[in-house]
Amino acid sequence: MNKRKLGKGGLEVSALGLGCMGMSIAYGLPPDKQEMIVLIRKAVERGVTFFDTAEVYGTNEELLGEALAPFRGKVAIATKFGIKTGPNGKQFQDSRPEVIRQSLEGSLKRLRVDAIDLYYQHRVDTEVPIEDVAGTVKDLIREGKVKHFGLSEPGVKTIRRAHAVQPVTAIQSEYSLWWRRPESELLPTLEELGIGLVPFSPLGKGFLTGEIDEKTEFVKTDFRNIVPRFTPEARKANQVLVDLLRRIAERKKATPAQIALAWLLAQKPWIVPIPGTTKLSRLEENIGAVNVELMPDDLREIDTAAAKITIQGERYPETLEKRTGL
């Protein structure tokens, strides 16, 4: 698989990474652990060298630690600090320097590594100045426990303030054909500063694969049950975007998911999407997107058609949206 560089600090990873959250939480009952270990190792065999997890993703770090143990030095693991889960099961933000250090030690142990390749603040903590966060990670980099610094879903002012203290290698943000807000301020800022972008949910939490419609039923524990964009009415209205992808896919002898990923890859050379999956067939389909070449005419056609589509439903419940873009 082709490689791409994130930031200016020498972090080179596969053009597509693998988001691993869904292997442990969020999308219904977690699949079998041994099956996920096999899947992760199959991803490495197929050229994936970039894996994404977080402290708050249940047992996900332990899963990656075991699955990737044979590939030390050959893959890059990104994890995140700053979101904790309280005794009541509710999440809260805490990026105090001492808590970052505690989180790091736990992640190192669970991932079975000596240093974290890319360490993101999971969400901006309004109670802790971003300069203190960046300064703490800078110290950890100096100590050899972290290699690169990242932020997840910050606003551009926060990025600039953090970058002035410790160069930011990558920003993680939702970005896809059905969530294009990053194009207004985020992408120009990252280009200016030389920071990479790692889009999560590049397939719209599965919707852009074309396998979900208004009749699809999710298990009770599936996160999408509380997402406004996934109400049956919104799904029915948003099918028009999937129809667009399907038309392009038929012409390109590809799938809607591959077109959605190829579109992202075509936006900037420093964008590395991290689609998640728990199925080998989907993994192989996603990886196939790197071989789908969208010509300028294709991209213009997609953009022209997409500009006429108004996506229905917010991407998050209001309480979760408040945690982003500060």
Active centre residues (catalytic): 57
Transcribe 244-281 into DSSP letters. Answer: HHHHHHHHHT--HHHHHHHHHHHH-TTB----B-S-HH
Whole-angstrom Cα distance, residue 185 to residue 15?
A: 23
Q: Is there a contact between 16 and 52 (Cβ–Cβ < 8 Å)?
A: no
* 278: its two tokens: 């728990």
Whole-angstrom Cα distance, residue 1 to residue 16?
A: 8
Whole-angstrom Cα distance, residue 293 to residue 101?
A: 43
Evaluate the CA torsion angle 92, 94, 99, 103 in order and state its sign. Answer: positive
Evaluate the CA torsion angle 178, 182, 183, 185 in order and state its sign. Answer: positive
Q: Is there a contact between 162 and 136 (Cβ–Cβ < 8 Å)?
A: no
